[in-house]
Copies of this chain bind each other. A is one copy, B any other.
Amino acid sequence: MVVKTLNVREDILGANDLIAENLRTQFDRANVFVINIMSSPGAGKTSVILKIIEHFADKLKIGVIEGDIASDVDARKVEAANVDVVQINTDGACHLDANMILSACRSLGIDDKRLVIIENVGNLVCPAEFKLGENLKVMILSIPEGHDKPLKYPLMFTESDALVLNKIDLLPHTDFDMEQLRSTVTAMNPKIRIFPLSAKTGEGVAAFTGWLQGAVEGR
């Protein structure tokens, strides 16, 4: 008798990779640059996205895909910035997958866009595993979360192209160790770019959006 063990997780990720590759081909053909933004709940994904929109609004046509378990709180904030938005409600799922993005793109329309920003579900774990056909993975860690997070949620830090350290206006009120954070993260992912900033005060935002602009133009 033969016992077969199914690794359902590998199957799921394999299927997702296939759809993500297909998505990436579609994005390249349409000349759309795609950024996948990931973080814990409340680290400031929407606030950082609003800063990106502010920077690119008069340069490029932008679309935003908002991922949430429930609600359209963030989509309404982004819509107010006068860009096209599609809201995905995952109904319990803790991450976006490529198939959801495929549907969202049909609804959003990508042919007239040059930049699509995806706001993932607030979660430092699963979103790191699911490719969405993006050009860049940007993760946000906010200062109050603490400098020990890379050791505890390693995949997100090793998978990301850039790490935004948001809420640096709160640095004086916490015991966040910036040097410790930098050395842990760069040991795990030597290529990662780190941008300390405050979406609230605007400090440090220009360095980040400037780097993004270089990436979009150099595609």
| Residues of chain A having any CB pair with chain B under 8 Å | 8, 40-43, 68-71, 73-74, 92, 94, 121-126, 129, 142, 144-146, 148-149, 151-155, 167, 169-170, 173-174
Contacts and interface: CB of A to CB of B under 8 A. Distances in A.
A124 B170 CA distance: 23
A91 B167 CA distance: 29
A174 B142 CA distance: 13
A199 to B, nearest CB: 12
A41 B74 CA distance: 20
Nearest to A121: B125
A151 to B, nearest CB: 4
Nearest to A143: B144
Contacts of A8: 8
Which 8 interchain pairs have the tightest Cβ spacing? A42-B145, A94-B125, A144-B144, A71-B151, A40-B41, A40-B40, A42-B146, A41-B124
Contact of A152 (B122, B144, B154): B122
A23 B170 CA distance: 42
